[in-house]
Amino acid sequence: MKAWFEAEGWEVRLTDIDPFYVHIDLMVVMLAPKLAAVCLESTDPDVVEWLKSKAIEIVSVPFQDTLDLGCNVVALGDDRILLPEKSLVLKEKARALGHRCDAGNTAGQGCRMELLYRRAAYDGESHVQ
């Protein structure tokens, strides 16, 4: 998979994560082109340093927030972020940096499901099976 992404022009950084998280976007997620939300308590310091070496600003998210899917956000572009209602720390920090934060009641599903529900409501079509 790494070779496939590199062939498409992406830079790839592989890392192991604690299996507790299942996937990395519960602890590291891009909010904007040069801004990432990161749980510093659970993310490998080498990953944090790699992000910083790319001139990516880090917004620290507490470990406790990641348990409530606090980093499971969707960057909508134009400084807009869809995030879980319980993601209070990230919402406060992102707003302080000039981002508009739209909180959804994701009920443990994560923001990607919320985005589908909102899209369905917006265009009148069902995108959720």
In this predicted structure, the answer to whether residue 95 has a pLDDT above a threshold of 60 is: yes
Number of neighbouring beta carbons within 10 Å of residue 17 = 16
Number of neighbouring beta carbons within 10 Å of residue 96 = 9
* Cα Rg of the chain, angstroms: 15
Please give the pLDDT value at position 105.
55
In this predicted structure, the answer to whether residue 72 has a pLDDT above a threshold of 60 is: yes
The CATH number fitting domain 17-123, selected from 3.40.50.300, 3.20.20.70, 3.30.1280.10, 3.75.10.10 = 3.75.10.10
Which two three-digit tokens encode residue 98?
């000039």
CA distances from 122 to 16, 72, 115, 116, 117 (A): 38, 22, 10, 10, 9
In this predicted structure, the answer to whether residue 128 has a pLDDT above a threshold of 70 is: no
pTM of the model: 0.77
In this predicted structure, the answer to whether residue 115 has a pLDDT above a threshold of 80 is: no
